[in-house]
Amino acid sequence: MKLSAILASKGSNVVTIDPTASLRELLLELTRHNVGALVVSTDGNSISGIVSERDLVHAFASHPDPYSLAVSEIMTSEVFVAPLEAHVDELMQIMTDRRFRHVPVTDDAGSLLGIVSIGDIVKSRLGELESEREALMGYITHGG
pLDDT digits (tens, 9 = 90+) for 84-110: 999 998 998 999 999 999 999 999 999
* pLDDT at residue number 133: 81
As a dihedral over the C-alpha atoms of residue 38, residue 39, residue 42, residue 44, rounded to 10 degrees, the angle is: -100
Task: Set out the domains of the chain in order of their start, with CATH numbers.
Answer: 3-142 (3.10.580.10)
Tens of pLDDT along the chain (144 residues)?
889 999 998 888 899 999 999 999 999 999 999 999 999 999 999 999 999 999 999 999 999 999 999 999 999 999 999 999 999 989 989 999 999 999 999 999 999 999 999 989 988 888 777 777 888 888 888 875
Q: What pLDDT does 144 receive?
A: 59
Q: Which of 109, 1, 2, 98 is nearest to 50 (CA)?
A: 98
Q: Would you say the pTM of this structure is higher than 0.95?
A: no
Nearest partner of 38 among 23, 98, 120, 95, judged by Cα: 23
